[in-house]
Amino acid sequence: MQYFWKNVPRYIRYVLVQTLCLFIFTALFRLIFYCFFFKSSITDSGIIAKAWYLGLKFDLRLTLIVMIPLALLAVITRNKFFTSAAVRRTNFIYLFLVYLVLTLLYVLDLGHYAYLGLRLDPSITRFFASGERADNARMVWQSYPVVRGLIGIALFLFLISRLLVYTYRRYARQQAVTIRKGRYAAWISALVLLFAAGIYGNFAYFPLRWSQAMFTRDNGITSLALNPVIYFVANFTVKGDTYDLQKTREYYPYIAQYLRVDSLDAQKLNYVRTVPGVNKPRPNIVLVMLESTGAAVTSMFNNPMQATPNMQKLSDSGILFRNFYVPAISTAKTVYGVTTGLPDITRVKTASRHPQMVDQRIIMDQFAGYEKYYLLGGNTNWANIRAVFSNNVDGIKIYEEGYFKAAKADVWGVSDYDLITEASAIFKDAHQRKQPFVAFLQTADNHPPYTTTKGAGDFKKVTEKDIDMNKFKQAGFISIDQFNALRYLDYNLGHLIQLAKEGGYLDNTIFVFFGDHNCTLNPYHFMPFPEYELGSGGEHVPCIMYGPGHLTPQQNTRAGSLLDVYPTVAKLAGIPFKNYTLGVDLLDTTYNSRYAFISYIKNLQFCTAVIGEQYLFEVNNGTGKTALYDLKGDALKDVGAQHADTARALNNLTHGFYESTRYLMFNNKK
């Protein structure tokens, strides 16, 4: 074997050795991902081994594609590869750039996965949007060990550079061998076949495909089986967001009947529902968005850690919607969705960043006689959120950083405790003026960098020594910091209610507390059905309506959506309004079957779905494949064939939501 290796031309040996080194480099990052970031509800060693096998084949494909330019340079220059200074510089610069770019992409991918539980994709470009780069940079600075990371990357690349120099010099010192044209052609052919076979990647009639990585329904397994760099590049082929008028009209009757529009018209695409007003005293409305708060982390949904006692008290004294969902995982998408009544189903950026999607006819604007507030501890240039409110709500007062007396706590602005304290003063002032108001209060501290303060002096963080770590692991939390941030959010909700009592406006106010999406969690199994595995856990959030004297305490099990919030509170307030979009009254008991429209990434593929009390119907938007899951039976089994009529009806409703949303985003202008 040693004799054979020495007879291989040294420039080909050099290429093969560098290819092996780069392949080991990619495998090293796969090992890091597996040891420190991988999480899955699947423990079968055979399935995990298969994911490793497929992942290494994708790593080999990336390695060979990247090494093609070096191989071409070597076989063209032959022995001059080691004698020409220009070739030497070209070789070193190319390989160093390869390692530099791949290292940065892999590190970015690991950070992206730790943050969102998803592999790196082109949607990350939203964090570089004009006016947001500085805030996002500060969030990264405050959340991650940036300096140590950069030092580590620099040291790693220095070692790589020394290895590159050492390897090149070692082969340059070896004796050059002149070979005949026939043998040269044979070596070139062998090298081409070797590269082609590795890139092809399959012992079959078709090459290695992404569908092979998605052999389970588990995001963790799929992520382990993918190569993040190839996946990132492949996703740049995603088409821009638009709408299809023909499909909108095709599915319009199904969504129009579900919404109970005033006048069904598939040509004009009428979605309007007119709600008459009621002559009664007008209560205040306060919407409180709970950052990164899913149902599964709260006390009301049997989380073993019972971290949210204040939310529990509010739900016991108000209305808890047990099956409440946001349409998508993203804070910007939630703010857009609850305000406009449309799911934000954009793929790369968010609708708030899309000029053609910002102009909307919304219910908040129709609160006649009300003062309207949007309160955020940071800057409303974030995600272009300012335009969602200022462009659509006449006379809205925006309170953001620069207004508040408190100092900034972190990149997201003033702490939630200070935000709530100063917001309550605004609410109290309106109450004393006998001025009804509708307000959107957006919290932020339950989010990296997980900044917490002492509140009124009595909030204390816990450590691993203070809690039952067995329960902690069962609860799904990723870290103690994440757990403490949720506790701090709950603490601040108690602070808000106490201030409302002291300010005198509690009894004349209806509060709506809702999560904007779930946080990234480890697998959990205490919910009524396996929402983590199904992919719906990220969208399942708590929603509590609390209004002493206005609402009768109850637990509502009908499916509800973020889109339904404003139609519900507007009706409770008794104002006359027109609903132009897709939300309905959460408290309307005349609906026989209620469904929430959701979208999520499953096996790294975009899916849309509707979910009700018993069924989840899912459409894979890439493949068109559908599935019906019985949430009260074997929830991971597709029962579409056994319940064909139900599947057909929900397929039409899902497409009705999706196509109507795409249309209305561009065609619901004032």
Confidence at residue 384, expressed as pLDDT on a 0 to 100 scale:
83
Instruction: Identify whether residues 317 and 364 lie together within a single domain.
Output: yes
3-state secondary structure of 542: coil
Point out the catalytic residue in the list 19, 248, 293, 331.
Answer: 331
**Does 240 fall in a domain?**
no
- Residue 78 exposed, middle or buried by CB count within 10 Å (0-12, 13-18, 19+): middle
Confidence at residue 207, expressed as pLDDT on a 0 to 100 scale:
87
Confidence at residue 272, expressed as pLDDT on a 0 to 100 scale:
98
Average pLDDT for the chain: 93
- Residue 269 exposed, middle or buried by CB count within 10 Å (0-12, 13-18, 19+): middle
pLDDT tens column, 454-469: 999 999 999 999 999 9
Annotated binding site for Mn(2+): 291, 331, 516-517
Please state, in angstroms and rounded to a whole number, the distance separating the CA atoms of residues 236 and 125. Answer: 11
Q: The tokens of 623 are what?
A: 């493949």
Predicted confidence (pLDDT) at residue 335 exceeds the cutoff of 70: yes
Annotated binding site: 291, 331, 447, 516-517
**Does 553 fall in a domain?**
yes
- Residue 416 exposed, middle or buried by CB count within 10 Å (0-12, 13-18, 19+): buried
Q: What are phi and psi of 241, to 5 degrees?
A: -75, 135
Confidence at residue 365, expressed as pLDDT on a 0 to 100 scale:
97
Predicted confidence (pLDDT) at residue 586 exceeds the cutoff of 60: yes
pLDDT tens column, 495-523: 999 999 999 999 999 999 999 999 999 99
Residue type, 263: S
> Which of these three, 235, 263, 298, is where a domain ends?
235
**Does 56 fall in a domain?**
yes
Average pLDDT value for residue range 182-210: 87
**Does 85 fall in a domain?**
yes
Q: How many domains, in total, are found in the chain?
A: 2
Q: The tokens of 17 are what?
A: 């050795």
The CATH code of the domain that includes 448 is 3.40.720.10
Instruction: Identify whether residues 195 and 252 lie together within a single domain.
Output: no
Question: Count of residues for the chain?
Answer: 670
Return the higher-pLDDT residue of 598 and 125.
598
Give residues with Cβ within 8 angstroms of 183, minimum separation 6.
none
Q: What is the pTM of this model?
A: 0.87
Neighbours of 505 (CB within 10 A): 21
Instruction: Identify whether residues 293 and 201 lie together within a single domain.
Output: no
- Residue-number span of the structural domain to which 39 is assigned: 1-235
Predicted confidence (pLDDT) at residue 2 exceeds the cutoff of 60: no
Angle between helices 480-503 and 416-432 (to 10 degrees): 20
Instruction: Identify whether residues 217 and 255 lie together within a single domain.
Output: no
Average pLDDT value for residue range 46-53: 96
Q: What are phi and psi of 325, to 5 degrees?
A: -135, 145
Instruction: Identify whether residues 84 and 167 lie together within a single domain.
Output: yes
**Does 520 fall in a domain?**
yes
Instruction: Identify whether residues 311 and 179 lie together within a single domain.
Output: no
Q: What are phi and psi of 320, to 5 degrees?
A: -100, 120
Predicted confidence (pLDDT) at residue 48 exceeds the cutoff of 80: yes
Q: The tokens of 265 are what?
A: 């018209």
Please state, in angstroms and rounded to a whole number, the distance separating the CA atoms of residues 173 and 424. Answer: 77
Return the higher-pLDDT residue of 91 and 177.
91
Q: The tokens of 602 are what?
A: 């499953």
Return the higher-pLDDT residue of 567 and 117.
567
Percent of the chain with pLDDT strictly greater than 70? 98
The distance between the two most distant Cα atoms of the chain, rounded to a whole number of Å, is 99
Instruction: Identify whether residues 38 and 125 lie together within a single domain.
Output: yes
Q: Where are the alpha helices (DSSP H) in 396-510?
A: 416-432, 469-475, 480-503
Predicted confidence (pLDDT) at residue 589 exceeds the cutoff of 70: yes
**Does 408 fall in a domain?**
yes
Instruction: Identify whether residues 228 and 257 lie together within a single domain.
Output: no
Predicted confidence (pLDDT) at residue 352 exceeds the cutoff of 80: yes
Neighbours of 135 (CB within 10 A): 18
Return the higher-pLDDT residue of 212 and 164.
164
* Range from 270-274, 357-361, 494-498, 543-547 carrying the lowest mean pLDDT: 357-361
**Among this protein's residues, is 331 annotated catalytic?**
yes
Instruction: Identify whether residues 223 and 324 lie together within a single domain.
Output: no
pLDDT tens column, 271-308: 999 999 999 999 999 999 999 999 999 999 999 999 99
Angle between helices 309-317 and 480-503 (to 10 degrees): 50
pLDDT tens column, 129-171: 776 778 788 888 888 889 999 999 999 999 999 999 999 999 9
Residues forming beta bridges with residue 375, ordered by sequence position: 399, 441
Instruction: Identify whether residues 390 and 417 lie together within a single domain.
Output: yes
Confidence at residue 1, expressed as pLDDT on a 0 to 100 scale:
55
Instruction: Give the model's confidence band at 236: pLDDT under 50 very low, under 70 low, under 90 confident, else very high.
Output: low
**Does 36 fall in a domain?**
yes
The single-letter DSSP state of residue 611 is: E
Residues forming beta bridges with residue 410, ordered by sequence position: 413
Average pLDDT value for residue range 366-379: 97
Instruction: Identify whether residues 225 and 257 lie together within a single domain.
Output: no
> Which of these three, 192, 209, 235, is where a domain ends?
235
255 touches 582 (CB < 8 A): yes
> Which of these three, 186, 211, 235, is where a domain ends?
235
Average pLDDT value for residue range 169-180: 85
Average pLDDT value for residue range 618-626: 93
Distance of CA 410 to the CA centre of its chain: 22
Percent of the chain with pLDDT strictly greater than 90? 80
User: Which of 227-236, 391-400, 596-605 has the highest mean predicted lDDT (pLDDT)?
Assistant: 391-400
Q: First CA to last CA across the chain, in angstroms?
A: 77
Instruction: Identify whether residues 385 and 484 lie together within a single domain.
Output: yes
Annotated binding site for substrate: 447
- Residue 532 exposed, middle or buried by CB count within 10 Å (0-12, 13-18, 19+): buried
Predicted confidence (pLDDT) at residue 3 exceeds the cutoff of 70: no
pLDDT tens column, 550-563: 999 999 999 999 99
The single-letter DSSP state of residue 128 is: G
Which DSSP helix (H) or strand (E) runs through 235?
none
Return the higher-pLDDT residue of 628 and 356.
628
Average pLDDT value for residue range 175-201: 87
Please state, in angstroms and as integers, the Cα–Cα distance from residue 213 to each residue in 31, 56, 118, 225, following that order: 17, 11, 14, 5
**Does 588 fall in a domain?**
yes
